[in-house]
C-alpha cells in the first residue's frame, strides 16, 4: 500500500516538474508548480515528517506560489514565440545522459551511515512537531535567529526594490 502511494506521489511530482519547465503559458507553469509542491508534501508525509508537510502546504503552496501567480497576473505577460533557449537540444541531450549515469551510480550506492537518536518510534511518541521543536530550539537556536534576521532583510529589500521611484519634482519639494 505504501508503495502505491509512493509511486503516485513520485510520478505525479516528476510529471508536474516536467510540465513546469515545458508549458508555454506562465500561469499554467505556476499551476503545474502547485501540483508539484502538493505531491512533494505527500512524500514528506510518507517519510514521517508531518510538520514539514504542513509547512510545505502553508508556506510554499499558500504563500510563495500565490506571490508568483500574483506577480504573473500583475505583469500580464505576453507569451513569446521563442520561449526556449536557441540551443535547447544541445543542452537536453547531455542532461538526459548525465541523469541516467547519475541514477546508475545512485542505485549502486549502499547509503549506510551512523544512526541518530530520532528513530521512528521515538518521533511518533510525541509527534513530529514536538521532535522538530525540541531540536530547533536547543541545538539550532542561533541558526533560527539568523534565519529571522535574513527574512527581515529580505522583506525590507523587496519593499525598497519594488517601491515606485519618486519623480525629481516631488523630491525637490521634500
Site for other proteins in 9-38 (CB under 8 A): 10, 13-14, 17-18, 20-21, 26, 29-30, 33, 36-37
Residue 77 found at the interface with other proteins (CB under 8 A): yes
Q: Does residue 12 contact residue 41 with C-beta atoms inside 8 Å?
A: no
- Of 8, 73, 85, 126, the one binding other proteins (CB under 8 A) is 85
Q: Does 136 bind other proteins (CB under 8 A)?
A: yes
Whole-angstrom CA distances from 34 to 16, 79, 157, 159 are 8, 20, 26, 25
Residue 97 found at the interface with other proteins (CB under 8 A)? no
CB of 8 vs other proteins, minimal distance in Å: 12
Could you tell me if 43 and 13 are in contact, meaning their C-beta atoms sit under 8 angstroms apart? yes
Place of cell 508555454: 24
101 binds other proteins (CB under 8 A): no
* Rounded distance between C-alpha atoms, residue 33 and residue 39, angstroms: 10
* CB-based contacts of 79, cutoff 8 Å, min separation 6: 24, 25, 26
Chosen residue from 35, 54, 57, 68 binding other proteins by CB under 8 A: 68
The only residue of 119, 124, 145, 166 in contact with other proteins, by rule CB under 8 A: 119
Amino acid at each position: 500500500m505504501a508503495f502505491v502511494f509512493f509511486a503516485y506521489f513520485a510520478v505525479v511530482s516528476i510529471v508536474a516538474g516536467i510540465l513546469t519547465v515545458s508549458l508555454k503559458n506562465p500561469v499554467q507553469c505556476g499551476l503545474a508548480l502547485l501540483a508539484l509542491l502538493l505531491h512533494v508534501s505527500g512524500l514528506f508525509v510518507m517519510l514521517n515528517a508531518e510538520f514539514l508537510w504542513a509547512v510545505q502546504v502553508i508556506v510554499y503552496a499558500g504563500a510563495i506560489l500565490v506571490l508568483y501567480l500574483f506577480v504573473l497576473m500583475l505583469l500580464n505577460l505576453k507569451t513569446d514565440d521563442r520561449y526556449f533557449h536557441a540551443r535547447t537540444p544541445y543542452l537536453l541531450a547531455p542532461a538526459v545522459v548525465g541523469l541516467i549515469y547519475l541514477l546508475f551510480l545512485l542505485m549502486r550506492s549502499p547509503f549506510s551511515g551512523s544512526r541518530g537518536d530520532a528513530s521512528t518510534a521515538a518521533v511518533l511518541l510525541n509527534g513530529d512537531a514536538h521532535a522538530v521543536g525540541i531540536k530547533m530550539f536547543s541545538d539550532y537556536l542561533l541558526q533560527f535567529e539568523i534565519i529571522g534576521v535574513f527574512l527581515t532583510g529580505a522583506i525590507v529589500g523587496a519593499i525598497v526594490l519594488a517601491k515606485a521611484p519618486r519623480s525629481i519634482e516631488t523630491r525637490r519639494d521634500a
